[in-house]
């Protein structure tokens, strides 16, 4: 996974989601806006994170392994059993 630019600062955080409350929009292909990065923080459990382009990749996120979302890169997530996570946005 990529790393954040040095000047990227957090500005918003989602509520905590579970496998039951995960919005459908996050389960299917979506992107962040231009210039917006995101960090997917798993609090408990595991979350499958699929980067869909330009080169498809898949990662299993855990509390020890957060996900990094690049601006405008299509991606989706899928719970692997019970999970709690949130998304932190940076720009």
Please give the torsion angle defined by the CA atoms of residues 39, 86, 48 and 59, in that order, rounded to the nearest 10 degrees: 20
Distance from C-alpha of 58 to C-alpha of 70, rounded to nearest angstrom? 14
| Burial tier of 2 (Cβ tally within 10 Å: 0-12, 13-18, 19+) | exposed
Q: What is the DSSP letter of 5?
A: -
Is pLDDT above 90 for 1? no
Q: What is the pTM of this model?
A: 0.95
**Which tokens is 70 given?**
């690049």
Using DSSP, state whether 25 is helix, strand or coil. Answer: helix
Domain-wise residue ranges, the chain: 10-90
Confidence category of residue 36, pLDDT binned at 50, 70, 90: very high
* Residue-wise pLDDT tens digits, 44-63: 999 999 999 999 999 999 99
DSSP 76: E
Question: 28 by DSSP, 3-state: which?
Answer: coil
10-90: CATH, from 2.90.10.10, 2.60.120.10, 1.10.10.60, 1.20.1290.10: 2.60.120.10
pLDDT of residue 28: 98
């Amino acid at each position: 996974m990529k790393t954040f630019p040095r000047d990227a600062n957090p500005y918003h955080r989602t509520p905590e989601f579970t496998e039951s409350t995960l919005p459908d929009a996050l389960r299917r292909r979506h992107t962040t806006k231009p210039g917006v990065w995101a960090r997917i923080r798993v609090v408990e459990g595991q979350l499958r994170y699929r980067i869909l382009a330009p080169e498809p990749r898949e990662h299993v996120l855990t509390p020890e392994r957060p996900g990094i979302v690049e601006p405008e890169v299509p991606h989706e997530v899928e719970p692997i059993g019970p999970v709690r996570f949130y998304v932190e946005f940076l720009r």
